[in-house]
Structure 1
């Protein structure tokens, strides 16, 4: 497992989200080679191309955050985590609302696959509350707790299940750092530089604020991938983090 994240430079704690087609993903990977360490493959890419896109990006030297948000019965999620690990995922996700047995099964599947194939065990993350949601949208799903209460409850369950950490808004990162401890992975989407559009994110902060709040890694997509010069945008974020 990648447990030494606190020793990494800011650039190595930025995960660039590739929500695009294969050609653009490979172009971005080639441009960002030598600059970024992590790339995120989500549903858009994986459902179209399958494991092949993981192999192609791994061959270019990147660590892969495979963000497929598993949510199913424990048997299925155990198998999904095993397959994702075998395919080269360095980090994978599941919805914490799937429950304790489901998350425990994911940890078992990832750990067993890593042992069987002689590869590092991936980071396992529980999704708490999506950053596109706020109190009103959460309430429409039948959840009467506040966003903060829901995040805290799901993160506690993820910790009990043995997950490496959680995915949550940077706004909740301070309470999660206190709850989960200094070594937990707290991966935060909903991060936007001051010079970038919020897009469809509701609960956002700047990259520097996210790190200050306790995030271990930042997921940043469109401010980099849709920039006229993605490398320049990435390096601008790194410079702002280093100055902070």
Structure 2
């Protein structure tokens, strides 16, 4: 996999116009675009996908997809009863996306239902099934956040706190692997451990990526692009460092080129 193919740009914007503007600039330099809840809710997922597909040279004709492969990561983070998530999985498979995600905390039955529904829909339409990724623990959550939710004891020392986070991520990842999901979304801190726990072909998609020249923002468990790839990540989800880079870096294209250079050093 080329360095640029590992980069997933998070289009965390409110309008199709802004998403298209970024996609037009960046699609030659990256592997995928993540459309998340803000854009899905404000503009509608299918409409956003149609516009991004058009930019990337992909279209639906005579009942099948033509042109380039999909570059869409549908970040819907489905989490509901199994029947509801199965319906959502069918719907997003019909949209022909590259990958989508579901919360591992929804349980084994829910994850299994999503995979089965996506497989059935893909088979019916004679199209590739999207990659299905399990969300383990959001990168905005640290141990203190779990304490505030009263799901973790406050008296643990630091080493035990780190161990508990790791146990949670391990359990969720192994459950996702067992039901046949293609991979998980996990923070940079868990990559090496996931590579030990899971099969080599099990994908690791990592948000919380911040080059040294970028601000951390609201992410808690972060690392640099080169460190994440070196640890074993397959894809890196990167938003603001690319879409809103510091002035001294330049624009989005300059930012993504710097990240590609950083990745190429370690692959």
Shorter chain as normaliser: what TM range?
over 0.9
Q: Residues of 2 paired with 1:15 and 1:116: CA distance?
A: 28
* Structure 1, gaps ≥5 residues long: 1-7
- Change beyond 3 A, Cα 1:30–1:121: same
Q: Once the two structures are superposed, what CA deviation does each residue of 1:127-158 show, in whole Å capped at 9, x if it has no partner?
A: 11100000111233343372111101111111
Q: Residues of 1 paired with 2:37 and 2:191: CA distance?
A: 25
Match of 1:9 in 2: 2
Partner residue of 1:45 out of 39, 43, 64: 39
Match of 1:196 in 2: 214
Q: Tell me the CA shift for residue 240 of structure 1.
A: 1.1
* Structure 2, gaps ≥5 residues long: 57-69, 153-160
**More divergent stretch after superposition (89-98 vs 139-148):** 139-148
Match of 1:55 in 2: 50
RMSD (Å) for aligned C-alpha atoms? 1.2
Match of 1:94 in 2: 102
Q: Residues of 1 paired with 2:145 and 2:38: CA distance?
A: 23
Match of 1:168 in 2: 186
Contact 2:72-2:98 at 8 Å conserved across structures: yes
Match of 2:88 in 1: 80
1:151 aligns with 2:169: yes
Q: How many residues align?
A: 237
Q: Residues of 2 paired with 1:55 and 1:42: CA distance?
A: 15
Q: Residues of 2 paired with 1:10 and 1:100: CA distance?
A: 33
1:108 aligns with 2:116: yes
Larger radius of gyration: 2
Q: Tell me the CA shift for residue 88 of structure 1.
A: 2.0
What TM-score do the two structures reach when normalised by structure 2? Answer: 0.86
Contact 1:93-1:125 at 8 Å conserved across structures: yes
Tell me which stretches of 4 or more aligned residues in structure 1 moved more than 4 Å: none
What TM-score do the two structures reach when normalised by structure 1? Answer: 0.94
